[in-house]
Chain A
Amino acid sequence: MMTVAKGVVVVALVLGAARAHAQTAQCVVTEIVASSDKKGLDPRLERLKAKLVRPPFSAWDTFVLVGEQSVSAERLKPATAPLTQGTLTLLYKDKMAAQGGRARLRFGVDLDNKQGRRSVSTVVAFDAGDPLLIAGEPVKGGTYILALGCTAP
């Protein structure tokens, strides 16, 4: 009985731990300004190079990192982060069954402009670690690109 009870306790603990981990996602929010100033790729953006050299971003030749931060998002609780162009609100909704070895995460992503007005609201499902890009807003000096990559261990 004890063994069984222990086993049950162990299983419960394991399940509890997995559930606790899945409750929080870690996101990296990267802000970029693209332009045609012939200055190339900011070295700090090397991990995104494969995406930025492809269309439509290949239309520009200069990519400057203007902000980067880590954001923890607890499941079903809005997490806000200040951006150079306003505010980001992330809502970690769900972690779905892993595909091809990677988890699939479901997020609500809201962007508010500097005046506090909601400019974009989207719900996206993406693979953990695979950045989603939101781009196109003209800003001083070029075009704004927001890269959002999240993991949920």
Chain B
Amino acid sequence: MKDEDLLRYLDGELSPREAREIEAALAGSAEARRKLEAMRQLREMVAARIEAEVDDAEEQLEASWRKIAAALPEPRRPGPWGRVRDWFEAYRGHVLTGALAAAAGALLALAVHPGRIAASPSGSPEAAVVESLEVSDGSGTILQIPSGDGDSPVTTVIWLTPDTSEDAPI
């Protein structure tokens, strides 16, 4: 049995068949067993020494993050879908989703009585009210966003998210 095979056995790099062959050889060789044990001892020593060093340096290692963070470039402005995603969270007043399983071929309609929709953030004039929404091959989200337009301070947007969209905000 070669020392290389012994080390491959120690490192779990042998196939099950090869491992069984080595085990059979080990059973018949005290010297091979001592070599294996010596390698295990070496492993434990090196591992213990390095781990001890990592433990000792842990506090300084944690502090390294501050230096790294300080040197990181400014976060890039997210792309369009990233920004849309962020605003969805802020302005999703009431969500109606009509998700359709294309295979099922059925439309899921969620009807909401106007009275249950939250009042527009600005108060008056009143924002558009989506009474029902059915969306096939995707989902729809209703957004009510302050528009800064004096005539219609709140804009109602029905946002469609196709099922195939990898960048879907929702």
Contact = CB atoms under 8 A, between A and B. Distances in A.
Contacts of A123: 130-132
Interface residues of B, number: 44
A41 interface: no
A118 B102 CA distance: 12
A55 B91 contact: yes
Contacts of A120: 133-136, 140, 158, 160
B60 to A, nearest CB: 42
A143 B160 CA distance: 10
Interface in A102-153: 102, 104, 106, 117-127, 129-138, 143
Nearest to B168: A136
Q: How large is the interface on A (under 10, 10 to 19, 20 to 34, 35 or more residues)?
A: 35 or more
A41 to B, nearest CB: 15
Interface stretch (B9-17, B37-45, B142-150): B142-150
Interface stretch (B23-31, B47-55, B76-84): B76-84
Interface string B101-142: 000000101000010000000001110111111111100100
Residue of A54, A60, A118 most packed against chain B (CB within 10 A)? A54
B107 A126 contact: no
A59 interface: yes
Contact of B125 (A99, A117, A134): A99
A40 to B, nearest CB: 15
Contact of B156 (A36, A119, A126, A136): A126
Interface string A28-45: 000000001000000000
Interface of A: 36, 50-51, 54-56, 58-60, 99-100, 102, 104, 106, 117-127, 129-138, 143
Given A54-B146, A120-B136, 6 more contacts: A56-B88, A59-B81, A59-B87, A121-B133, A127-B125, A138-B162
